[in-house]
Structure 1
Amino acid sequence: MTEAAPASVPGKIEIGNAQDVLGAFGLRQPQHRERSALTLLALACLSPGQAWSEASAPRMRTREIMEWTQAEYGVAYAPNTRETIRRYILSDFVEAGLIAENPDSPSRPGNSPNWCYQLREGALNVLRKYGSAAFAKEASSYAASIIDSLERGRELAIATNRDAILRGLVESAGGLRAAEAAVIEGRRRVLVELRALLAMPDATETAMQKILENNYWVFGGQYVAISPRRGLVPMQQHDILLVTADKSLTIVELKGPCDPLLARPRERHLTVSASVNDAVGQSMNYLRSMDEFGLSMRTAASDELGLDYDFRRADALVVIGNRDHPAKTDAERAQMDRVLRTYNSHLSRIRVLTYTDLLDTAERTLQFDS
């Protein structure tokens, strides 16, 4: 244990204790010991005199960590110190599993001024036990679980034998955590790519489809796969056929991210655009065909292709437009929401969604302590 400084020096005891905590988690940074301790205290929002049981986990940017340190402990850092804290302290905290980056928006660009950090729930629970008999053991166990997950992830990444991968997944909780973390990180990268594409002024339906057709999870947790065959219905070719756990289908009709969403055919009333109406009409025809030929199609698909789908319980999803296009004002976005909400409320088996809303929903499913 680090020897605490005399109690008469404000904040020194807390800094020394924070150094003890970092050591218990396996983090030893002799060149930045005090900065690391102050960074931890800031992330736990522990002012001088507060007990570790009072630790909390606010989301904080690097600048906010420095400002809090100066306000609470009187330690002022030069502005160029921010990069040192980010690269040599916060990055180590992330790797050690103490903190998460951007838990509120995992796909946030790396150059965003809102890039932030937050103590993980598991780490916070251990921190609150500092000073108790259970702390050392729980901190050691937490650190060991993180190391095990990292090592397991590296093993799985280089494994070429499928059986070896499956054994690695099921033989330990660490393997499961590593696999889950890898999947989540991969999905976050997909969302970053989709958002970057959506922000382009010349984004096309084809470009979006190339990514979406390999990532069924973007559309929601009720889906388990995308049909490998898009032309199951005679004389029709669907953009994407989503498969649910109960074998029913959702026809996804993709339209351009830059297509208009609203029109004003009357002087005072906004309605959905002709592009939206056309896409919905197209989806109605798809559903009618599945209703009429569903029974024979199910038999043919099962016998000839080995695909067991319930065509007569299909619905449809139209994805079109960008609600957050840079040219739109907040008032216009609110109008879009109202018009689309009203329009959807009068539809049956068809839903209209913007690409923005689709990606926002997918991102929210990844916002948990991974």
Structure 2
Amino acid sequence: MPMPTRSDLTLRLFLEKIIELGVSDHVRSLLDDALRHMGKRSPYRGGRDLVDLLRYAGSAAKSEDDLHASERIEDALASSMYVMLRPDLEIKYQLFPGSRLRYLGYIRSTVEDFGQLFLTSLRQFNADQPDASPDEIYHFLDGLFASARSIEEDEQEPGRYRMMRGPRESSAWLREVLLDRLDIEDRSTVGVAANHHQSGSAALSLAELVQLSQLKIRSDALQHLRCVVQNPHSTEGDLQHALARNLWIFGGSYLQELGRRRLVPGNELDISLVRPDGSIHGVELKRANLGIVTHQRGNVIPNSQVHRAVGQTMNYLLALDEDRPRILNQHGVDVRRAGATVIIGHPDFQPDVEESELNDVLRTYSSHLARIEVITYKQLLDGAARALDFS
């Protein structure tokens, strides 16, 4: 499946402007290759080839110590990978006449609309509680603004959004606490005094109740993820969305998601997990609904889909190694000898190969990779299910 990239008129005009501002003949030839790949009219071609061409051009400019061209090409690369937003690119380089005024007007109208929302909400509160004290008004406004963090898209009607307040917001908060922010500890010891036995038992019963609630939530999440994985129409984005909300599935060896996928220009993995020692472990997600092995001379071997995913991950790890000092200084993350897992395929989508044979092929293949492991979504789900059963 082609990687998601932005390839539009804004990017094409920007690449032409980079050439216009002045680059070496070598860098210009690489940018010309990128322009030819995109094409002269919409729909413009993007994908991995475009990203690679821009990366080559950026490396060439950097090797020539052309810092201005290198920065511009890095911005083009960031824009093509949806890291730099289109308005920022248009405003920074004035690609279209009147861009700054247009976006300024957009900001002004947004602030005006927000003001209307604010006043409407305040008038409604004043109508419902005409005798409210200043403290009560401040409390209402504080709750109104805090509710902005709960804005989410309506799954049943994309493009429509909702903001949770009151009981629904509390339910969402409680779910997050039970799922990700509650640690169960047994502080009972043999030497606890007898007069504390009754209260200790009550506390333990409450802890057991909370733990069961947490297990139920995780069990439901695992079932939902299983449905997404087994859906023949699920995309990489669907899988990433489901997994990013349930990082416990990767096991207890990781603390949380890094929340910063792009540590090096032009490279990113789908999920970056943090180990207890502060180092990271990347996760590259590919589709589940595809075949991942092929037959060659009577043997079963990984196919091109697997090789491509591993190659992409290797490039990412190499980029981390080469840029370690900067990443450690800017982000406080140690990427020395970082590892990664590639998750791809599912036995259900290649029924002509036995699951045990498929697993054996990937295990053998991974044994020849120093820092990368390749597993299927079924292996990931089975491991999470065993952890829940053990709990």
Show the 5 A alignment for 1:214-233: 214-233=245-264
**In 2: Cα distance, 1:273 partner to 1:350 partner:** 16
Q: Following TM superposition, by how much is the alpha carbon of 1:180 offset from its aligned partner in structure 2, in angstroms?
A: 1.6
Comparing 331-340 with 269-278, greater Cα deviation is found at: 331-340
Structure showing greater relative contact order (alpha-carbon pairs closer than 8 Å, 6 or more residues apart): 1
Asked if the contact 2:288/2:345 (under 8 Å) is kept, the reply is yes
User: Residues 106-163 of structure 1: CA distance to partner in whole angstroms, max 9, x if unpaired?
Assistant: xxxxxxxxxxxxxxxxxxxxxxxxxxxxxxxxxxxxxxxxxxxxxxxxxx97997x99
Q: Following TM superposition, by how much is the alpha carbon of 1:269 offset from its aligned partner in structure 2, in angstroms?
A: 2.1
**In 2: Cα distance, 1:342 partner to 1:199 partner:** 25
2:244 match: 213
> Alpha carbons of 1:300 and 1:197: their partners in 2 closer, same or farther (altered >3 Å)?
same
- Structure 1: which 5+ runs fail to align? 1-155, 302-307
1:182 match: 213
**In 2: Cα distance, 1:299 partner to 1:257 partner:** 37
Return the letter of the residue paired with 2:291.
P
**In 1: Cα distance, 2:173 partner to 2:368 partner:** 51
1:367 match: 389
User: Residues 36-67 of structure 1: CA distance to partner in whole angstroms, max 9, x if unpaired?
Assistant: xxxxxxxxxxxxxxxxxxxxxxxxxxxxxxxx
**In 1: Cα distance, 2:376 partner to 2:172 partner:** 38
The equivalent position to 1:346 in structure 2, one of 363, 368, 371, is 368
Q: TM-score, structure 2 length as denominator?
A: 0.48
**In 2: Cα distance, 1:189 partner to 1:158 partner:** 15
Asked if the contact 1:298/1:310 (under 8 Å) is kept, the reply is yes
**In 2: Cα distance, 1:247 partner to 1:287 partner:** 16
**In 1: Cα distance, 2:307 partner to 2:321 partner:** 21
Asked if the contact 1:224/1:245 (under 8 Å) is kept, the reply is yes
Q: For residue 271 of structure 1, give the secondary structure of its aligned residue in structure 2.
A: strand
Return the letter of the residue paired with 2:340.
A
> Alpha carbons of 1:173 and 1:238: their partners in 2 closer, same or farther (altered >3 Å)?
same
Q: For residue 233 of structure 1, give the secondary structure of its aligned residue in structure 2.
A: coil
Q: For residue 280 of structure 2, give the secondary structure of its aligned residue in structure 1.
A: strand
2:345 match: 321
- Structure 2: which 5+ runs fail to align? 1-169, 188-199
1:310 match: 334
**In 2: Cα distance, 1:228 partner to 1:320 partner:** 22
**In 2: Cα distance, 1:254 partner to 1:158 partner:** 27
User: Residues 323-365 of structure 1: CA distance to partner in whole angstroms, max 9, x if unpaired?
Assistant: 233x615x53232122112101111110001001000001100
> How many aligned positions are there?
203
Q: For residue 323 of structure 2, give the secondary structure of its aligned residue in structure 1.
A: helix
Q: For residue 366 of structure 1, give the secondary structure of its aligned residue in structure 2.
A: helix
> Alpha carbons of 1:173 and 1:262: their partners in 2 closer, same or farther (altered >3 Å)?
same
Asked if the contact 1:321/1:355 (under 8 Å) is kept, the reply is yes
Identity across the alignment (%): 36
Return the letter of the residue paired with 2:206.
G
Q: TM-score, structure 1 length as denominator?
A: 0.50
Show the 5 A alignment for 1:1-370: 172-264=203-295, 266-301=296-331, 308-325=332-349, 328-329=351-352, 332-368=354-390
**In 1: Cα distance, 2:315 partner to 2:351 partner:** 32
- Structure with the larger helix share: 2
CA RMSD of aligned residues (A): 2.9
Asked if the contact 1:295/1:311 (under 8 Å) is kept, the reply is no
Q: Following TM superposition, by how much is the alpha carbon of 1:232 offset from its aligned partner in structure 2, in angstroms?
A: 1.9
> Alpha carbons of 1:158 and 1:214: their partners in 2 closer, same or farther (altered >3 Å)?
closer
Q: Following TM superposition, by how much is the alpha carbon of 1:260 offset from its aligned partner in structure 2, in angstroms?
A: 1.7
Q: Following TM superposition, by how much is the alpha carbon of 1:366 offset from its aligned partner in structure 2, in angstroms?
A: 0.6
**In 1: Cα distance, 2:305 partner to 2:337 partner:** 26
